Structure 1
Amino acid sequence: MTHPPNAPAAPAAPGTAPAPARPAGVPAQPSPAPAVAPPAGRGAWAVGRERLRVATTTEPGRLQILGAVLALLVVAFGAVTALQVDDRATAADDVVSRSQPLSADAAAIYRSLADADTTAASGFLAGTLEPEESRKRYDRDIATAARLLVKAAASTDGSGESAREIATLNEQLPRYTGLIERARAANRQGLPLGGAYLRYASQQMTSTLLPAAERLYAAETVHLQEDDESARTWPFLSLGLGLLTLAALVWAQRRNYTRTHRVFNHGLLAASAAAVVVVLWLLAAHTIARTGLDSARAHGQESLQVLNSARISSLTARANENLTLVARGAVLTEDGKNDKYEAEYTSSMSTLTDALATAREWADDDAGRGPVDEAATRTAEWKQRHKDARAKDEAGDFDGALGLIVGSKESGRSTGQSFDQVDAALERALAHEQAEFTRSAADARDALTALPLGAAALGILGAAGAVLGINRRLSEYR
């Protein structure tokens, strides 16, 4: 049988090499899929995300991330500690060098104004020719008040409550001194109008100047309390971040140990030591600062407030005592039954007695109790002498009553002398408590002074240690 010849193979396309023959018994293989181009729009974010995925799936990548996190935690801990402690150190410094001195100056302004009013009334009662010593004391009080007002104006916020009270005092003080000069001029001429001017001036003092000074003292005392609270507040954010940093460092070292069986990593150990030092320093410094501020508040600030109240009460009592003789019953209480100035004298003396009892209770040593005890003794003598003077006045012996009120120092039995002795004792007590306050508050401030810089430096060193410790592990993969 004749078979047709096989058809000739088709010629290969020009430029195409013939496919190699497949050995017998080898199955045909599928041809590889053509390469797929990256999707359009894939940018830096996608590339970065891919690199992060690759880094988190390899140990060197994980170590790099861990080192960055640890360094960031240690630096953040040091920075937050430095900022928070610096804020509290600034507040503690304000307590020592600004708030408390301003509060003391406000009390001194009140004292100077009240003493000037009292001295003016005493000089008026002395006769038509005012004693030179009385005039000098009045001038000294007015000059002191004016100087302290200028100092307070330079140290307070121009838009605050203190500034408004200072403006009121600066405006009203010249008016008061003008009324006093008119009263003196009329008194030298023997005119009864002098007494009216003096009473009006005293009314201006008690209704405008002294309330403004008292509000100024209250405002500055509030600022002192705010600074005190700011200085004693615990830095909870810093402490929390410090504990978190220590926990992260401990975990990193445990991780290192479980993977390498190496007990210590010098870099991480140094970072942990730096964090521990900052945490312990923060706790110790703030505890010392709070203790100092507590002592300053208990043995200084509160005692100063009570003693200032006692001194204000003594000055008010003395001014009303003088005005009782100047007015001679012309000014009555609202119910019209009693002498107004005598009633206010009695109220002020009662406040003085209570304040002295409280001040003695709060005094923490003999140096503080001694002046208070003397002031209490002199106050009792003052009350008795005033009682004798009132008995003479009510009996019609005005000159005898006047001698007991403004008698000379040589007589040794006038209420004016008792007032001076009380005032001098209170001044010594105030000086003692002021020194106690300043010493305790300064100790609190000093405890915080070096911590901000130390925390920042240790934070940087700790971060460097963490990076070096992680790099030591990374070097084992190179």
Structure 2
Amino acid sequence: MTYPPNAPAASAAQGTAGAPARPVSGVPAQPSAPGAVPTPAAPGAWAEGREILRRAATTEPGRLRILGAVLALLVVAFGAVTAFEVADRASYADDVVGRSQPLSADAADIYRSLADADATAASGFLAGPQESAQIRKRYTDDITTASRLLVRAAASTDADGESAREIATLSEHLPRYTGLIERARAANRQGLPLGGAYLRYANQTMTQALLPAAERLYAAETERLRQDDDEARAWPFLSLALGVLALAALVVVQRRNYAMTNRVFNRGLLAATAACVTALLWLLAGHGLARAGLNDAREHGQESLQVLNEARISSLKARANENLTVVARGAVLTEDGKQDKYEADYASSAAALTAALDDARRLADDEAGRAPLTEAAARTGEWRQRHGQARELDDAGDFTGAMNRIIGSSQSTGQSFDQVDAALGRALAHEQDEFTRAAENGRDALTGLPLGAAALGVLAAAGAVTGINRRLSEYR
């Protein structure tokens, strides 16, 4: 017996199966997100460069390229640094010869001219109303020389340096001093006692403002000379270290080349080595000769010049104080009130002169330098003896006799002073020639070295690259 299908049940089943699922009330459908894959960070430039070098170092051609780059960099750095350091030292050596030492000498001449002008003015005052044309001309020449040297020094010094300040002080007080001297002369020609007071005021301006400023200027320029000399003589240690390092690297690379190929020579590397050796030997020889010349200039010229300038300064101070002793006639005393100030200052300056002459004779290294110093010492002894005689006459009341012993044409202290000053001038000229000759020899030893070192550095780099490329060609 056949039964009919259960249609309602099937329909219900189909309806249930085909109906869409209803979402749960209040909960929205969530899309399914795919799994996130992290993006690797890009390597930095430094890490990438290291990786490239690491890969290159794993092959012989890569290692050769690295060695070639290192060798080229070393030899070029050696040439460049050598050129820079040697040019710097050559510049300082040129300053020693052409600027620092001439300025120091000019500063000493400024002091000498001012002090001699002061001593000459006092001598002219002692001569009375009839001042000789020779004394007047000497005073005028001294002032003109000091003014000219001040202008030249101002043009060669820094505007904000210590020397510039001292030059400004000198330029300010020099017209004041000359004005006081002219007033003293005018009063003296009229026979007025006021002339002596003006002369003392002028001397105070000279001794308290002008001469101290000139002495400080001389000290500043001498210190600059010493600094320039030290800089010129300093060894170029960085250049020497780079030269030795470049040579060591070239030797190591050539030994490596020999171990791998059994070839004794590589022409390119051998040329680079020869260029580095030439540059290093030239640097050592050139700087050694320059240093020797500058050392000779310092020991046999600069030190002697400094002592001789001190001797000349002492002699000028002694002469000025000697004249003022007679002009003041005991009106100016030392701080303790027991001695004539100018006489005490004369004695101090004369003792300093004698000591400086002894030092100068010890430093003189030949007879041409010692002969004028021996004469200066002998004339200094005569000067002190004649000064003692003049003081005895003055103390005994013989003013005319004392004045003749000081400013007379013969057998006077003025004659002795002129002889001492002339002998010191010859000694200074001799030592100046020795200094200039030795310093120029030192400076000339560096001529051509900066350019030569740079050219040899480029040549060595080209040789190193050529030698490495020759080895690389074997792998192609």
For the criterion TM > 0.5, the same-fold answer is yes
Question: 2:33 matched to which residue of 1?
Answer: none
Question: 1:162 matched to which residue of 2?
Answer: 163
Question: 1:11 matched to which residue of 2?
Answer: none
| 1:145-198 deviation per Cα after TM superposition (whole angstroms, max 9, x unaligned) | 000000000000110100000000000000000000000010010000000000
Change (3 A) 1:48 1:312: closer
Q: Could you tell me how far 1:52 is from its partner in structure 2? A: 2.8
| 1:438-466 deviation per Cα after TM superposition (whole angstroms, max 9, x unaligned) | 01111110111211111001000000000
Q: Could you tell me how far 1:42 is from its partner in structure 2? A: 4.3
Question: 1:447 matched to which residue of 2?
Answer: 445
- What are the within-5 Å matches in structure 2 for residues 20-419 of structure 1? 42=42, 45=45, 49-408=50-409, 412-419=410-417
Instruction: Measure the CA separation in 2 of the matches of 1:390 and 1:187.
Output: 23
Q: Could you tell me how far 1:225 is from its partner in structure 2? A: 0.4
- What are the within-5 Å matches in structure 2 for residues 451-470 of structure 1? 451-470=449-468
Instruction: Measure the CA separation in 1 of the matches of 2:303 and 2:342.
Output: 30
Backbone CA RMSD of aligned residues = 1.4
Q: Could you tell me how far 1:51 is from its partner in structure 2? A: 3.5
Q: Which structure 1 segments of 5+ residues have no match? A: 1-36
Which of the numbers 421, 424, 432 marks the counterpart of 2:422? Answer: 424
Q: Which structure 2 segments of 5+ residues have no match? A: 1-36
Change (3 A) 1:417 1:86: same
Instruction: Measure the CA separation in 1 of the matches of 2:288 and 2:53.
Output: 45
| 1:278-333 deviation per Cα after TM superposition (whole angstroms, max 9, x unaligned) | 11111111111111111111110000010000000000000000000000111111
Instruction: Measure the CA separation in 2 of the matches of 1:47 and 1:97.
Output: 55
Runs of 4+ in 1 over 3 A off after TM superposition: 37-51
Instruction: Measure the CA separation in 2 of the matches of 1:64 and 1:309.
Output: 65
Instruction: Measure the CA separation in 2 of the matches of 1:308 and 1:377.
Output: 18
Q: Could you tell me how far 1:44 is from its partner in structure 2? A: 8.5
| Partner SS, residue 330 of structure 2 | coil
Q: Which amino acid aligns with 1:180?
A: I
Q: Could you tell me how far 1:54 is from its partner in structure 2? A: 2.3
Instruction: Measure the CA separation in 2 of the matches of 1:301 and 1:261.
Output: 59
Q: Could you tell me how far 1:105 is from its partner in structure 2? A: 0.3
| Partner SS, residue 180 of structure 2 | helix
| 1:364-411 deviation per Cα after TM superposition (whole angstroms, max 9, x unaligned) | 101100110111111111111111111110110000000010012xxx
What TM-score, normalized by structure 1, do the two folds share?
Answer: 0.90
What TM-score, normalized by structure 2, do the two folds share?
Answer: 0.90
Q: Could you tell me how far 1:41 is from its partner in structure 2? A: 5.6
Instruction: Measure the CA separation in 2 of the matches of 1:378 and 1:152.
Output: 33
- Percent sequence identity is 75
Instruction: Measure the CA separation in 2 of the matches of 1:148 and 1:211.
Output: 17
Q: Which amino acid aligns with 1:70?
A: L
Change (3 A) 1:441 1:398: same
| Partner SS, residue 260 of structure 2 | helix
How many residues are treated as equivalent by the alignment? 439
Q: Which amino acid aligns with 2:443?
A: R
Instruction: Measure the CA separation in 1 of the matches of 2:352 and 2:414.
Output: 19
| Partner SS, residue 331 of structure 2 | coil
Change (3 A) 1:195 1:48: closer
Q: Which amino acid aligns with 2:471?
A: R
Change (3 A) 1:382 1:49: closer
| Partner SS, residue 448 of structure 1 | coil
